[in-house]
Structure 1
Amino acid sequence: MMILKHMTLYILWLLIPGCLFAEVNSLVRIYTDHDTPSLYRKMQVMGADIAAADISLGYIDVILESEQQKAFSKEGYQMELLIPDINTYAAQLRAGNYLSHFHSNDEILAQMQQTAQQFPDIVALYDIGDSYLKTIGRKGFDIWAMKISDEAAMEDPSEAQVLFMANIHAREIITPGIILRLMQLLTDGYQRDPYLTHLVDHREIWLIPTLNPDGYEYVFTGNPENRDFNNRSNPDPLWWRKNMGDNDGDTVFNPRRDGVDINRNFGFKWGIDDFGSSPKISDDTFRGVSPFSEVETQIIRDFVGMHRFIISTSLHSYSNLWLYPWGYSTTDQVPTSDLNAFVALAERCVAYNGYTAEPGSALYLVNGCSDDWLYGEHGIFAFTSEVGDPFIDGFFPDTTRIEPLIHENVGPCLFLIYAAGEEPIVTCETVSDTLAPFNSQMVRAKIEKPIVLTGPVDLDSTAVTLSYRHYDNNEFTRTSMKYDPLKMEFAAEISGIGAMGKTIYYYVEASDSKGRFGTSPIGAPAAVDSFFVQGIDRVEDDIKPASVELTNFPNPFNQQTTIRFALEKSSTIRLDIYNIRGQHVRNLAAQVYPLGTFSQKWDGRDDSGYWLDSGVYYCRLVSDDEVRVQKLLIIK
């Protein structure tokens, strides 16, 4: 069930006389001719619930009552109905058991508890405070934070801390699943995947799957007792945005008067104008009566104050955007050095998922938001991911889109965990397999400085080393690499290769003056590069050519590569993918092929359908007569 089937809904609705302004709430896209800020201000004045916006494309998605729709229509705005009646739409989703595809509060906690029990050495689970409803004795929830690190019960001042949180806005139900998937990857991959193991061993990673569990529960249950006499004019709780605060103090929840937008309640630039937040309790962007008036923001304020986060990411939906400060102003900018770091980090994130990177104010003005406070008060490089394509996803994506949306955000999150460590970036030149043994093999590497987050640090040029070993030797030989200023690279020889038919494993390591180290590949020595010295027992005038050829393109690849093999005769072929540890991860073919050339695409998933992480993999082709191996490199 797709949320946004634009033209179909639009046309059908217009065919019904008088339906455009029936007494309903509708999700409407209003086109602005690129005067989005002006339109946004008009919407805020009338207290409209803004769902998403794109200044570059010139539109705003907004939930409007019939009278509000009439007002914009009279002003000549082009409008497109995305969901003509949001209550009918919500009823259809509930009747179809749509929400069962997402994680309830109870399921979130159960998964966190199970993970903490399964991985006690690297996971610690903390109750960091009570939701609003729990503080007043009306059920409510604990708000949970999980720490993942090699010494989860201790704090290591040498390890960079990173924070991820989700579900600040109740209806953004795709976001907790991203946090849970990140949790799963880091824990399941520990001691199995070298890259993930490196992150866990050298970072302190904090996860908060939902900051607004009260509002989230309201979305899930659709409890009619929490409606204002179940008035038809009130949107179904599926569309609820705020927390469940009792603004008017009457002890009865009324969606027309209660609730605070948590992402307008943080203390930095709180309430500096009435465009980036609202002073009206009835508005969806009501900022609360004072900075940190809400228990949920108080919890984050105190929690952040006890830690030393370098990077944070808050997951929202929707718009396919990757945002950074400032949100409160289109004219003020962060200092140039920090802005360069924000842009560099954001561009690497969107290179993975295709989102647009921009300051938060480019979406629309927001004051009192988490990102501005985290950066403005604590110097944390704070980002927001607006998850979901505005043309096909919205707040409630089709169930077939859940996995892609999670995947396209987990990758950037893993990158930010890596970047927070400010490790030297080591790029090692690939050493090709050689046809004959030599006494030595040259290895070259370039060392770059990381994106600077906490201050520039010099590279220790005396601490760049090459480590290597033969396949049958568990001990690495380490040698220093010399710098060539003309080529701007380091180089060293692997000596004593000698024997034929051997695989040589190697990695390069570099350190900075603070003792932080980077390797190529990341995660070494658990992850290593390699090359093969093919054995030739004797030289013949006429060497019989191989009956099987195996290649792939592109290599390295990000999302898909095509593996090609050519057969000189019919043969039973088995085509498999192995990771760098030699573990089987995917079978691509197992059948008889005739003479000819064939291709097989691989999307970087294992046999269970999970996306594999960046690193070296091997494609192994076994025919009736011989075996061929091709090295593959996934880069995300």
Structure 2
Amino acid sequence: MIKNIVALLLLVAFVQSARSHSGANHFQETQRSIYASIKFEDYPKGMQAIQKLDLDVTGVDKKNKIADVFVTTEQYKALKELNFRIIENKSSKALKAVDEKYKSPDEIEAILKEWEKENSDIAKLHIIGQSSEGRNIYAMKISDNVSLKEDGESAILFNSMHHAREVMSPEVTLDIIESLITNYKTDAKIKNYVDSNEIWVVPMINVDGNAKVWSGSSMWRKNTNYGHGVDINRNYPYLWGTCNGSSGWTWSSTYRGPTAGSEPESKALMNLVKTIRPVFNISYHSYSEIVIYPMGCSGSRTQTKEVVEKIGKEIGESIQYEAGTAWELLYSVDGSDIDWMYNAYQVIPYVIEVNSRSQGFQPNYDKWRDKTVQRNRAAWMKLLDRMSQSGVKGQLDATYPSPESYQIEVRTEAGEIFQNYRINPNGTFHIVLNEGKYTFTLKKGRSTVDSKVVSVESSLKNINF
């Protein structure tokens, strides 16, 4: 830890000075060369101090109060001089090259195309956007009538690799696809998932950044736009750059981009979410073995926290990961995909950081790949199970033009407003709730159109207005 506040201010001044004359040849992300582990006496305060210094925090072990950072020689010297307790360090030259059994963008593209070819009855590949370097960003849709948009089926989304070096994360989403398509005809539970839902999977959002990892920059995190790159998961519009949860410095590992939603990768995911309106989302990252739910800025909670946090903790319990907000488990985050999804389109979204600190970003493939994806199956299956559990679902009939101009006010039995749910453009709604009695009031603006009192039980209930 830092001895005193003066020391902290000195290091902040050092970083700001380095930034002021940082150009293409100084203090760049590519010059980070030391991988260090810091032990804290007080974990929350220690993480807050590290975030203020705008260091590249690669992962944490919250239980043992340890954070890993990837730093330049100057940053490392400053940390030592200011008495951070560094318990381990190694040169980036000592880091092993990425295990070649992990998947490059081209390999993932080939795998997806082959799976679509072999399972065209339930799997359809979509290009949802292109990167700044012109690579396709793919999403796989899995459903029984895969070429149709079925209003009666709700959507769920899984995505991975916002950050280029996190090579295990696409393995989890590829495993989701493979598990669904290979077991569809033999496993009744899997068949029900596919027949009852529209399941969307985006295995690799940051295609350019991952290509850079494979070209030799194994610790690259951002995309490659503008030469210095942008942290795609700080680029989403909701509360972009508002709570010190990202950086405005171009060479920072958490650089949020020149404007909110500026990056082609974030635009691709935003357009997909706008189109499919998923009920749930899991964004896979690595590493730290935690489940993160919104909101990212310190002290913030979701309006529907009773549901969001309950499900998040259940997901964590299913895979033995700790669950909480980013600011509880790590540090404040702004411009994230899950905060944007929740606030823009009322998705219930989670981040799962797979693998432990001892395994890191790029663990041995043969040793850890299967163990990781098998352990994480319980989490994505839990959300697919939750699609048919407590809540209400329905669709406005044809007498209601412009369905998106209507909302459903949800009140608890005690009369408290739980949620103001905005109807989807196709007239559908799927509201996830805990069990209990609720009043559902259909409104257009301030005008009440209809109202129903419904007892929500363990199974999803269909109601219509």
Corresponding residue number in structure 2 for 1:339: 305
Task: Give the Cα–Cα distance (whole angstroms) in 2 for the partners of residues 27 and 511 of structure 1.
Answer: 48
| 1:353 positional shift | 1.4
Corresponding residue number in structure 2 for 1:108: 108
Corresponding residue number in structure 1 for 2:146: 152
| 1:344 positional shift | 2.3
- Write the mapping of 1:131-170 to structure 2, written as runs, cut at 5 A: 131-134=131-134, 141-170=135-164
Contact persistence 1:27–1:63 (CA under 8 A): yes
Name the SS for the 1:374 alignment partner.
helix
The 1:307/1:33 distance shift into structure 2, 3 A limit, reads same
Task: Give the Cα–Cα distance (whole angstroms) in 2 for the partners of residues 332 and 510 of structure 1.
Answer: 30
- Whichever residue aligns with residue 333 of structure 1, its letter is R
- Whichever residue aligns with residue 299 of structure 1, its letter is A
Of 235, 241, 246, the match for 1:271 = 241
Corresponding residue number in structure 2 for 1:36: 44
- Whichever residue aligns with residue 28 of structure 1, its letter is A
Of 202, 213, 226, the match for 2:207 = 213
| 1:40 positional shift | 3.8
Corresponding residue number in structure 1 for 2:218: 238
- Runs (5+) with no aligned partner, structure 1: 1-22, 135-140, 223-236, 247-252, 425-451, 460-508, 516-636
- Whichever residue aligns with residue 68 of structure 1, its letter is Q
Corresponding residue number in structure 2 for 1:306: 275
Corresponding residue number in structure 1 for 2:315: 349
Corresponding residue number in structure 2 for 1:419: 386
Name the SS for the 1:309 alignment partner.
coil
Task: Give the Cα–Cα distance (whole angstroms) in 1 for the partners of residues 156 and 460 of structure 2.
Answer: 22
Task: Give the Cα–Cα distance (whole angstroms) in 1 for the partners of residues 359 and 436 of structure 2.
Answer: 45
| 1:164 positional shift | 0.4
Corresponding residue number in structure 1 for 2:20: none
Corresponding residue number in structure 2 for 1:566: none
**Higher normalized strand content (fraction of residues):** 1
Deviations 1:431-454 (A, max 9, x none): xxxxxxxxxxxxxxxxxxxxx943
Contact persistence 1:34–1:59 (CA under 8 A): no
Deviations 1:280-300 (A, max 9, x none): 101111000110111111111
- Whichever residue aligns with residue 44 of structure 2, its letter is T
| 1:58 positional shift | 2.5
Task: Give the Cα–Cα distance (whole angstroms) in 1 for the partners of residues 168 and 32 of structure 2.
Answer: 26
- Write the mapping of 1:563-602 to structure 2, written as runs, cut at 5 A: none
Task: Give the Cα–Cα distance (whole angstroms) in 2 for the partners of residues 456 and 55 of structure 1.
Answer: 29
Q: Does 2:41 match 1:74?
A: no
TM-score by length of 1: 0.56
- Write the mapping of 1:352-501 to structure 2, written as runs, cut at 5 A: 352-362=318-328, 363-390=330-357, 392-399=358-365, 400-422=367-389, 453-454=431-432
- Whichever residue aligns with residue 52 of structure 1, its letter is G
Task: Give the Cα–Cα distance (whole angstroms) in 1 for the partners of residues 261 and 322 of structure 2.
Answer: 30
Q: Does 2:19 match 1:25?
A: no
- Whichever residue aligns with residue 94 of structure 2, its letter is T
The 1:192/1:265 distance shift into structure 2, 3 A limit, reads same
The 1:73/1:113 distance shift into structure 2, 3 A limit, reads same
Task: Give the Cα–Cα distance (whole angstroms) in 2 for the partners of residues 319 and 58 of structure 1.
Answer: 12
Contact persistence 2:141–2:198 (CA under 8 A): yes
Contact persistence 1:34–1:55 (CA under 8 A): no
Task: Give the Cα–Cα distance (whole angstroms) in 2 for the partners of residues 510 and 27 of structure 1.
Answer: 49
Task: Give the Cα–Cα distance (whole angstroms) in 1 for the partners of residues 88 and 139 of structure 2.
Answer: 39
| 1:42 positional shift | 4.2
Deviations 1:460-479 (A, max 9, x none): xxxxxxxxxxxxxxxxxxxx
Name the SS for the 1:150 alignment partner.
coil
Deviations 1:345-370 (A, max 9, x none): 22222222111111121211110001
Task: Give the Cα–Cα distance (whole angstroms) in 1 for the partners of residues 43 and 125 of structure 2.
Answer: 47
Q: Does 2:265 match 1:296?
A: yes
| 1:66 positional shift | 2.2
Alignment RMSD: 2.4
Deviations 1:85-138 (A, max 9, x none): 11332xxx33xxx5322111121111111111111111111111111111xxxx
Residue identity over aligned pairs, in percent, reads 27
| 1:24 positional shift | 7.3
The 1:512/1:216 distance shift into structure 2, 3 A limit, reads same
Contact persistence 2:290–2:354 (CA under 8 A): yes
- Whichever residue aligns with residue 131 of structure 1, its letter is S
TM-score by length of 2: 0.76
| 1:196 positional shift | 0.2
Name the SS for the 1:132 alignment partner.
coil
| 1:77 positional shift | 1.9
- Whichever residue aligns with residue 398 of structure 1, its letter is N
Deviations 1:240-291 (A, max 9, x none): 0000011xxxxxx3xxxx1000000000110103x31000101111000110
Name the SS for the 1:197 alignment partner.
helix
Task: Give the Cα–Cα distance (whole angstroms) in 2 for the partners of residues 124 and 208 of structure 1.
Answer: 12
**Higher normalized helix content (fraction of residues):** 2
Task: Give the Cα–Cα distance (whole angstroms) in 2 for the partners of residues 24 and 342 of structure 1.
Answer: 37
The 1:175/1:74 distance shift into structure 2, 3 A limit, reads same
Task: Give the Cα–Cα distance (whole angstroms) in 1 for the partners of residues 74 and 283 of structure 2.
Answer: 34
Corresponding residue number in structure 2 for 1:182: 176
Contact persistence 2:48–2:331 (CA under 8 A): no
The 1:311/1:24 distance shift into structure 2, 3 A limit, reads closer
- Whichever residue aligns with residue 409 of structure 1, its letter is N
The 1:100/1:212 distance shift into structure 2, 3 A limit, reads same
Q: Does 2:39 match 1:59?
A: no
| 1:457 positional shift | 8.3
Task: Give the Cα–Cα distance (whole angstroms) in 2 for the partners of residues 510 and 114 of structure 1.
Answer: 36
Name the SS for the 2:218 alignment partner.
helix
Contact persistence 1:277–1:367 (CA under 8 A): yes
Contact persistence 2:51–2:331 (CA under 8 A): no
Task: Give the Cα–Cα distance (whole angstroms) in 1 for the partners of residues 375 and 43 of structure 2.
Answer: 31
- Write the mapping of 1:183-202 to structure 2, written as runs, cut at 5 A: 183-202=177-196
Q: Does 2:226 match 1:259?
A: no
- Runs (5+) with no aligned partner, structure 2: 1-30, 392-429, 438-457
Contact persistence 2:99–2:362 (CA under 8 A): no
Name the SS for the 2:276 alignment partner.
coil
- Whichever residue aligns with residue 374 of structure 1, its letter is M
Name the SS for the 1:277 alignment partner.
coil
- Whichever residue aligns with residue 197 of structure 1, its letter is K
Contact persistence 2:292–2:324 (CA under 8 A): yes
- Whichever residue aligns with residue 165 of structure 1, its letter is N
The 1:157/1:244 distance shift into structure 2, 3 A limit, reads same
Q: How many equivalent pairs are there? A: 375
| 1:52 positional shift | 1.4
Corresponding residue number in structure 1 for 2:4: none
The 1:343/1:396 distance shift into structure 2, 3 A limit, reads same
Task: Give the Cα–Cα distance (whole angstroms) in 1 for the partners of residues 297 and 460 of structure 2.
Answer: 39
Task: Give the Cα–Cα distance (whole angstroms) in 2 for the partners of residues 259 and 148 of structure 1.
Answer: 32
Higher relative contact order (CA 8 A, sep 6+): 2
Task: Give the Cα–Cα distance (whole angstroms) in 1 for the partners of residues 431 and 377 of structure 2.
Answer: 21
| 1:56 positional shift | 5.1
The 1:120/1:29 distance shift into structure 2, 3 A limit, reads same
Task: Give the Cα–Cα distance (whole angstroms) in 2 for the partners of residues 76 and 347 of structure 1.
Answer: 36
